[in-house]
Structure 1
Amino acid sequence: MTTAVREAPHHNKLTCVKHYDCRLPDCVERYRAYQRERYHGRTAGTWQPLVDAEPVRQHILKLQAANFTPVRIGELADLPFETVIGFLRAYGCNGYRKARKRRCTSEVAAKILAITPATAKPGIVDAAGTIRRLQALVAAGWPMQDLGPRISLSCRTVRALIRQKRVYGRTADAVAALFDELKNEKPERHGVSRNSASRARTYGKRHNWATVKYWADRMDDIDDPHFEPMYGITRRELVAKDANELMRFSGLDREAAAARLGISKAYIDHAFRDHPQYAIEVAA
C-alpha cells in the first residue's frame, strides 16, 4: 500500500521543502542556501532572532474587527494565507498539525503590523467610492469597455460594479488607482475614438453623473456612503426638497415653510411646479 504525497501549493518559498518534502532541485537548493545563510548569520551575530508573535496576533484580531479577512491581510502583506492564519489557530498541512505561532521573523511582523484600516481597505467595502469614480470617468469620456481591461475586468463586470452595494477591497483599490491615473487625461489621446468618447460623455450627462471636476474639491467625501452629492441639482430643486421636509416633519404650511427658508411662498410654488415629486399641499 502506498501513501499519496500532496503536491505543494507553490514552489517559490521554503514551505514546499519544510512541509511537503519537495525534492525539486531548485527548491532544495533554495532551502540549503537559507540554512547556510542562517548558519553564517548566527555565527557572525548578524542573524535576527525570532520575535514574540502575540503583538502580531492582536493586530490581526483588530484588523479582523475592521472587516479584514486573513486572505486580505495576506494580500496586503504579500504573505501566504497559511502564514497569517497560523497566528490565529493551529493549522494543518500535508498531514501535520502545527501549533499556533508563538514566534515569527521580524520581517513578517513588520509587514503585518504595517497594515492599518487608515491606509488599506478590507476584503469587502462599500461600493460608493468605486461607483463614483467609474461614473466620473465615464462622464469624462472613458467608455466602460475601455476602463475594464485597464483593471483586468470585462465591460460587463464594470457595468455590474456601478449597480453593486459592496465590492472587494482590491477592486476598490484598482478603481481608485485607475481614477488617479486617468482623471486628468483626455480619452482621445489614449486610443479612444471621438465617437466613443462623445457617447460616453452623453451617457454620463443623461444619468447626471458627477464629473471629475466636481469630485476634485470633494475627495475627502468620495468614499463616504453617507455623503449626498448635489451635482446637477438646481436651487429650485433644493428648495422643493427642503420645503417638502419642513412641511412633512415640522407640520408647517407653505407660507410658514417659506418664512423658515427665507424665501417667498411663490418661490416654493414654482419649485414644486418644476419638481412635482416633492410637491405637498398641506402639512402631514
Structure 2
Amino acid sequence: MTTGDRHPPHHKTLTCYVDYRCRLPLCVDRYNTWCRDRDRAIADGTWQPLLDAEPIRLHLLELHAAGITIHRVSQLTGLPYRSVRSFTQHDYSNAAPRRHRVTREVAAKILAINLADHTPGNVNPIGSQRRFQALVAIGWPTVYTAIRAEIHPSNRNSMFRYPTMHARVAQRLANAYDEMRHQAPAKHGVSATSIKRAKLRAEREHWAPPSYWDEVGGIDDPEFEPQYGITRRQIIAQDANWIMRTAGLNRQATAERLGISKAYIDHAFRDHPEYAIEVAA
C-alpha cells in the first residue's frame, strides 16, 4: 500500500480510542456506548465475559491435526494470529502463559469452525510480509528467514507480489519468526556487513521491528496501518485529510475537531503535500 492510500488506524473499533487516544466524536461515542452496555450488564448480573478456554484449545488442536493451521483459523474468524495461538502455547515474546480464559464472542467464533466446511486453503500474506520485514529490521537478511521457513531462497520475494499465501507456508514463517526474533544474527553466521545492510533497508522502508508489533498488535490485520517511523506531523496530515474528505470540513473546522491549531494543519500539509486538500468536494 502506498503512503497516499494510508488511513488513520482503526477508526472502527475501540482500539483507536484506547491505544491511540483518538477523540473523534464517533470514536468517543463508540467507547462510551460500550462502557454503558458493560455497566448495565454488570448491574443486571448478566456480565460474564470469560469462560474456560480448554474447549477452545482442544478444538484448535483438532483443526490443526486436520490441516487447518492457526493462520487459517485467524483468517476464518478475523481474530489476531497471536490471540488464536495463545490458546495452544505460551507467548515467547513476553513469557505470558497459555490462555485459560476466553470471552464468549471469541469462543463462539473459534468453535463455529467446522472441519466439514473448511479446507486448509490460503490466507492473506500481510502477516508473513510483516514478519519478514520485522526480522530484516533486527538484522536478518530475507534469505536466512526463507531457509528457516523452508522456502526456496529464489522464491522469497514472490510473497510480496501475490494476494494470497498457502496457510501452511504462513504457519512455517510464523514459527521461524517466533524463533529468529530472539536470536542474534551475528551468532548464526550473518556478517556484520549484511546485518548493517538489512537494518538500513528496514529503516529506509519504515519496516517495524518485532518490539513494535508486540506493542501495537495487528501484525496479521490487513486493515491495520502501522505508524512506525512516521512523525506526528505526518499523522496529523493523514487524519486531517481523512476528516476533510469524509466530513467535508474546511481546515479550521478540522483543526477544532482534532484539538489543534489551523496553523499546525497548514504546516503538516506543507511538509506532506500528498495529503493536502482544502475541502472535500
Instruction: State TM-score, norm by structure 2.
Output: 0.57
Shift of 1:276: 0.5
Segments of structure 1 that go 5 or more residues without pairing to the other structure are 1-62, 78-114
Q: Given the alignment, which residue of 109, 122, 130 partners 2:120?
A: 122
Q: Given the alignment, which residue of 270, 273, 278 partners 2:275?
A: 278
Report if the CA contact (8 A) 1:133-1:179 is conserved: yes
Q: Do structure 1's residue 229 and structure 2's residue 239 form an aligned pair?
A: no
Q: Give distance in 2, aligned partners of 1:181 and 1:278.
A: 39
Instruction: State TM-score, norm by structure 1.
Output: 0.57
Q: Given the alignment, which residue of 193, 196, 207 partners 1:195?
A: 193
Q: Give distance in 2, aligned partners of 1:136 and 1:190.
A: 17
Partner of 2:141: 143
Q: Give distance in 2, aligned partners of 1:128 and 1:148.
A: 16
Partner of 2:176: 178
Which digits, 9 at most, give the CA deviation of each residue in 1:210-245, with x for residues without a partner?
Answer: 1111012234x2112222212112111111111112
Partner of 1:261: 258
SS at match of 2:157: helix
Identity of aligned residues (%): 47
Report if the CA contact (8 A) 1:121-1:173 is conserved: no
Partner amino acid for 2:161?
A: R
Segments of structure 2 that go 5 or more residues without pairing to the other structure are 1-59, 70-110
Which digits, 9 at most, give the CA deviation of each residue in 1:181-228, with x for residues without a partner?
Answer: 011211011110000111111111111111111012234x21122222
Partner amino acid for 2:173?
A: V
Q: Give distance in 2, aligned partners of 1:225 and 1:253.
A: 30
Partner of 1:155: 153
Q: Do structure 1's residue 251 and structure 2's residue 248 form an aligned pair?
A: yes
TM-align CA RMSD: 2.9
Q: Give distance in 2, aligned partners of 1:213 and 1:121.
A: 33
Shift of 1:117: 5.4
Report if the CA contact (8 A) 1:121-1:170 is conserved: no
Q: Give distance in 2, aligned partners of 1:117 and 1:227.
A: 24
Shift of 1:116: 8.5
Report if the CA contact (8 A) 1:141-1:200 is conserved: yes
Partner amino acid for 2:278?
A: E
Structure label with greater radius of gyration: 1
Q: Give distance in 2, aligned partners of 1:227 and 1:283.
A: 24
SS at match of 2:133: helix
Which digits, 9 at most, give the CA deviation of each residue in 1:88-125, with x for residues without a partner?
Answer: xxxxxxxxxxxxxxxxxxxxxxxxxxx9859x993211
Shift of 1:127: 0.8
Aligned residues: 177
Report if the CA contact (8 A) 1:134-1:162 is conserved: no
Report if the CA contact (8 A) 1:138-1:204 is conserved: yes
Partner of 1:58: none
Q: Given the alignment, which residue of 222, 234, 238 partners 2:235?
A: 238
Name segments (4+ residues, structure 1) moved above 4 Å: 72-77, 115-118
Structure 1 residues 218 and 259: alpha-carbon distance in aligned structure 2, compared to 1, 3 A threshold: closer
